[in-house]
Amino acid sequence: MTFKKAAELLAVVIILGIIIFTILNIVNQESIQKYSKTELLLDTVFDITVFTEDEAEGNRLLREAFNEVRALEKTFSRFVSGSEVDEINQNAGEGSVEVRSDMLKVIKSGIYFGEITEGSFDITIAPLMELWGFGTGKQRVPSQEEIEEILPLVDYREIQLDEQRFTVYLPQEEMSLDLGGIAKGYIVDRIVQYLESQNVEIASVNAGGDIRVIGTREDGTPWRIGIRNPRNSNGQDIIAVIPIVDQAVVTSGDYERFFTSDGKRYHHILDPHNGFPAAKVISVTIVAEECITADALSTAVFVLGPRKGMELVESLSGVEGLIIDNQEKLHVSSGLQDIIEIR
């Protein structure tokens, strides 16, 4: 066999190899499948979607992820008796309670977000929420006196945290923690961390609107998040679309939970400073790297209002926001302006 023929053969082999490789690649890409599961957890609809090649692997990831959610729910829910939150609240004014590192981290972030928002986000808001009846079902408008009596109990700075001994103490008996505005985001982050540790490259976690995604969509384009029109009751009319990659989005709106009394609407986002529902904006959407940040800031910015809220958003790196004020005017942060799609 001559050298020329050998070279010819080699060329043919290489070309065919490339063709086969390409075909195998196409087939492999097609074999990435979407596996998704929805469960009712954390008082909301919890939806996890992963993209994997293997069905057994997809189902395993979903199962493990939901087990994790259920375990974390037990720690954080205010209404599950025997949960760590419940224990801290029961022992308020009496003694410190030893907690798991998850709880310590969440309370620490809660205090941090209290600090950077000057108390507009406060994890000790539970007594105030209870006074208005949010969460218990018997909603009513409390009197000014009642509110003034309760307000001193709402102060995140009073929480005593011992990071060496993993203990938490609420110094006043009537104080109590409500981690509802932050725990959901934390749990979403934990699930995302779990999926990332399992080398999942495309996934999404949606805990009733607390959304965080891993990577891009299957086709390589950003995930598209529809922001609901806060003043259209027919549900799923959207006012804007925000594209995200490896980020979290949370929206707080005054339409989520509210009640009407004497013809006036009262919603559940209460201003810890004066004890009444915050009225300057009607919807806040925060985009951040972590869901816990988006979760806490969406509430805080809602309370702070459009001007101070946007200042806060712009001052934080990796955080963007869309604020719809009570005149239904849209305020968009600088990093979102070029990519947001207003409808």
Stretch that binds other proteins, among 72-80, 88-96, 119-127, 235-243 (CB under 8 A): 235-243
Cβ(184)–Cβ(251) below 8 Å: no
Cβ(323)–Cβ(299) below 8 Å: no
Nearer to other proteins by C-beta: 153 or 227? Answer: 227
* Listed residue (320, 232, 231) closest to 281, CA to CA: 231
Beta strands 97-98 and 44-52: pairing type?
Answer: unpaired
* DSSP letter string, 86-130: HHHHHTTTT--EE--HHHHHHHHHHHHHHHHTTTSS-TT-HHHHH
Nearer to other proteins by C-beta: 130 or 210? Answer: 210
Closest distance to other proteins from the beta carbon of 41 (Å): 8
Site size for other proteins (CB under 8 A): 50
Q: How far is CA 308 from CA 116, 155, 228, 295, in A?
A: 12, 20, 23, 18
Which residue of 148, 162, 218, 311 would you call a contact of other proteins, by CB under 8 A?
Answer: 218
Q: Which of residues 123-142 bind other proteins (CB under 8 A)?
A: 137
Question: What is the per-residue binding string for other proteins in 256-295, x denoting contact by CB under 8 A?
Answer: x----------------------------x----------
Stretch that binds other proteins, among 4-12, 76-84, 144-152, 327-335 (CB under 8 A): 4-12
Interior angle at CA 70, CA 69 and CA 74, nearest 5: 115
Cβ(177)–Cβ(123) below 8 Å: yes
Question: What is the per-residue binding string for other proteins in 50-89, x denoting contact by CB under 8 A?
Answer: ----------------------------------------
Cβ(234)–Cβ(221) below 8 Å: no
Taking CB under 8 A as the rule, does residue 245 contact other proteins? no
Cα(85)–Cα(135) distance, integer angstroms: 15
Taking CB under 8 A as the rule, does residue 200 contact other proteins? no
Taking CB under 8 A as the rule, does residue 220 contact other proteins? no
Question: What is the per-residue binding string for other proteins in 17-56, x denoting contact by CB under 8 A?
Answer: --xx--xx--xx--x--x--xxxx--xxx-----------
Helix (H) or strand (E) holding 145: helix 144-150
Cα(83)–Cα(286) distance, integer angstroms: 29
Q: Which residues of this chain interact with other proteins, rule CB under 8 A?
A: 1, 5, 9, 12-13, 16, 19-20, 23-24, 27-28, 31, 34, 37-40, 43-45, 137, 204, 206, 208-209, 211, 213, 217-219, 223-228, 233-236, 238, 241, 249-253, 256, 285
